Structure 1
Amino acid sequence: MTTTNSNEVDHTTNMLKDKHVEYIINLDKKEKSFEYWVTEHLRMNGLYWGLTALNLMNSIDKMNKQELIDWLLSCQKPNGGFGGNTHHDDHLLSTLSAIQILVQFDSLDKLDIDSVVNYIVKLQQEDGSFIGDQYGEVDTRFSFVAILALSLLGHLDKINQDKAVEFINKCKNFDGGYGSIPGAESHAGQIYTCVGALAILNRLDTIDIDNLGWWLCERQLPNGGLNGRPEKSSDVCYSWWVVSSLSTIDRLDWIDNDKLKTYILKCQDNETGGVADKPGDMPDVFHTFFGIAGLSLMGYFDLEHIDPVYALPTKLLDKLNINLPWNKKSKSFAANK
């Protein structure tokens, strides 16, 4: 595989690694663009997506570590949670991103961990679900985010794990998939969060694995891409949501990995770098991360291996001594390297 900045390279067969690195490190220099300000509230999530993509491409050293950590800590609120940007309210989603960023910078010691843990624990409800913030929205995404964050901080024992599993199982549908709340339709994004939460809590036994695996593999379309639910078009972000879930339940070989790889590559921007949701669309950091993460998880190109549950490079989780039993089941990475 060859990486180059030349526009003459066939981006349908090559990963434009150098261009993607350049695209990501230049994102914060576009302060006069509409896109920069309309996504201001997602800055913490955006930093996680971009930083992790750089990490997978072995280019994290191109970011100013101390400057980013200082900004990140300025987003923490008195209650321990983090906002999406300096002047935004705290939320579980941005709190997890802050933790994932600090893990990648080997800087969890910068946190008052007890304060962050207490913030997360207080968001669990009596039925085992989690709300995302003070405004009370319940979603299986928030269950996963809370469980993942507490696992990274080493404090899973502070929540009612049995109740958390019970709520997630109430969100399981007849097709083996999971929705955002009980009774909601199955969606690949929600499946990722539910499967991931159950994996961390060591309760993959509650999943109807073959039924779920069948539903997930049916998300692959003739163009090689994946969709999030029936009758929808393909989108690069599902290269993560679907592939990570299949990997965790050891069914990644139920889809055509090569066809998906080709689809992701076609979504690269041959001029600016970055990855779009669909071929020919404008790239963004969200789809850039999930496209690269999907390629990493399937074992293509010279990328760091990402864990399908924690969405962080496996080497970092090894340093934290986090047990990853589902990763032992993933055969595709070793086969494709």
Structure 2
Amino acid sequence: MEDLVRELAVDKHARYIVSVEKRKDDFESVVMEHLRMNGAYWGLTTLDILGKLDMVDPDEVITWVMSCQHESGGFAGNIGHDPHILYTLSAVQVLALFDKLDVLDTDKVSNWYNTFHIMFCLIYKVDVAGLQNEDGSFSGDMWGEIDTRFSYIAINSLSLLHRLDKINVEKAVKYIVSCKNVDGGFGCTPGAESHAGQIFCCIAALAITGSLHHVDKDLLGWWLCERQVKSGGLNGRPEKLPDVCYSWWVLSSLIMIDRVHWIDKKKLIKFILDCQDKENGGISDRPDDAVDVFHTYFGVAGLSLLEFPGLKPIDPAYALPVDVVNRIFFGG
């Protein structure tokens, strides 16, 4: 393991993340402009796991995050964009990293889960049921797209804000369970194909709500461990190529259902390390591909889940460092 520790280019990965934020005119920054809030969460959480969060100015970050909040309470991916549930969770998570959730009007944010959807309901003359639909599912924005990702995001963010009472948790759980398939996995909607990313969202939502008893852990664990290929990497569906991001989606789910010992951890660690750019920093989806902040985060987060030495532990359900989660719920 000592040899592997020396292989993790901690300082170069940290400098890479900081440099991406400063390069506002290059291709990567331009194509991510509309989802910069997600990028901020990926990059800043990576820095925290690496023990390098002090490389950024907290006040500058917090000021920008709050400038992305709409009057409705929701957050946009960047200044001048529309609010969406995806970016609202990332904003909450970023503020949590800096112990600054107190700058939020939590009632305003949690009420947004109802108010922005009312606009959709009025326009299309459907019952005003808030962001949570009658069947327990959640929509992502005022246009009404439904996905189990949004169920997880709503449950995660409201839990972090101590506002789970704003939704019908029982209905939310029932909807997630309705998306379970015969292979033990979960899809984005009932009957949709099992996918490792969706499985994480469903399992994490069930974990946060204390509902993991609905999961067939052996059946799901088998499906998940079958995602490991010869290179040691993990894929998201059968017959697909491995991708570093599944080092998070698959691993976290296996940990939450206590089946992580069913994969070869050493081979997965080697796969992640082989995806590093050891000269300039950053991690790619597969060895020798171009790096990006998304895969850098999921690679480092995956190593954290694998208890890689020198990295802060990350919570597999909340996708935040354990000390941050403990501070929110236990004041530690």
TM-score range, shorter chain: over 0.9
Q: Which of 60, 65, 77 is the matching residue for 2:70?
A: 77
1:206-245 → structure 2 map (5 Å cutoff)? 206-245=214-253
Task: Name the residue aligned to 1:181.
Answer: 189
| 1:16 paired residue number | 9
| TM superposition shift of 1:321 | 1.9
**SS of corresponding position for 1:151:** helix
Please, which of 129, 140, 145 is the counterpart of residue 137 of structure 1?
145
In the TM superposition, what whole-angstrom CA distance separates every residue of 1:146-203 from its partner, at most 9, and x where no partner exists? 0000000001111101100110011000000000000100000000000000001100
Structure 2 residue aligned with 1:151, among 146, 151, 159?
Answer: 159
The amino acid across from 1:88 in the alignment is H
Name which of 313, 322, 325 aligns with 2:321: 313
For residues 271 and 11 of structure 1, the distance between their equivalents in structure 2, rounded to whole angstroms, comes to 16
- Partners of 1:245 and 1:124 lie apart in 2 by 24
Distance 1:281 1:23 in 2: 16
Q: Give the secondary-structure state (helix, strand or coil) at the position aligned to 2:142.
A: coil
Residue type at the aligned position of 1:235: D
**What is the identity, as a one-letter code, of the residue corresponding to 1:134?**
M
Task: Please report how far the alpha carbon of residue 28 of structure 1 lies from its aligned counterpart in structure 2 after TM superposition.
Answer: 1.3
Do structure 1's residue 261 and structure 2's residue 269 form an aligned pair? yes
Kindly indicate whether the alpha-carbon contact (under 8 Å) linking 1:12 and 1:266 is maintained by their aligned counterparts in 2.
no
Q: Which of 103, 110, 120 is matched with 1:117 structurally?
A: 110
The alignment of Structure 1 onto Structure 2 pairs a total of residues equal to 316
What CA distance in whole angstroms lies between the structure 2 residues aligned with 1:322 and 1:183?
38
Q: Give the CA deviation at 1:13.
A: 6.7
The residue type paired with residue 194 of structure 2 is: S
Contact 1:75 1:82 in 2 (8 A): yes
Tell me, in whole angstroms, the C-alpha distance in 2 between the residues paired with 1:322 and 1:218: 36
Check whether the contact 1:128–1:160 (CA below 8 A) recurs between aligned residues: yes
Residues in 2 aligned to 1:152 and 1:256: alpha-carbon distance in whole angstroms: 33
Q: Given that residues 13 and 265 in structure 1 are in contact (C-alpha distance below 8 angstroms), is that contact kept between their aligned partners in structure 2?
A: no
Give runs of aligned pairs for residues 35-114 of structure 1, distance below 5 A: 35-114=28-107
1:119 shift after superposition: 1.1
Task: Establish whether residue 169 from structure 1 lines up as the match of residue 162 from structure 2.
Answer: no
- The answer to whether the Cα contact below 8 Å between 2:86 and 2:140 also exists between their aligned partners in 1 is yes
**Secondary structure of residue in 1 paired with 2:7:** coil
| Equivalent AA in structure 2 for residue 136 of structure 1 | G
Letter in 2 for 1:200: I
TM-score, L = length of structure 1:
0.92
Deviations 1:232-275 (A, max 9, x none): 00000000000000000011100000000000000000111000
Amino acid at match of 1:85: N
Shift of residue 322 of structure 1? 5.7
Give a deviation string over 1:49-80, Cα, whole Å, max 9, x none. Answer: 00000000111011111111111111001110
Contact in 1 for aligned 2:5/2:308 (Cα 8 Å): no
Q: Which amino acid aligns with 2:133?
A: Q
In the alignment, the residues of structure 2 paired with residue 27 and residue 322 of structure 1 have an alpha-carbon distance, to the nearest angstrom, of: 34
The alignment partner of 1:26 has SS state of helix
> Which letter maps to 2:254?
L
- Look up the match of 1:300: 308
Code of the aligned partner of 1:27: V
Which residue identity does 2:110 align to in structure 1? V
For 1:237 and 1:13, the matched residues in 2 are separated by: 22
Paired residue for 2:18? Answer: 25
Q: Is the 8 A contact 1:170 1:182 kept in 2?
A: yes
Structure 1 unmatched runs, 5+: 3-9, 324-337
Q: State the identity %.
A: 57
Residue 120 of structure 1 and its aligned partner are, at CA, apart by: 2.1
**Counterpart amino acid of residue 94 in structure 1:** Y
Change (3 A) 1:49 1:73: same
For 1:277, the equivalent position in structure 2 comes to 285
Unaligned runs of 5+ in 2: 115-129
Q: CA RMSD in A?
A: 1.5
- Tell me how far apart the structure 1 counterparts of residues 174 and 163 of structure 2 sit (CA, whole Å): 20
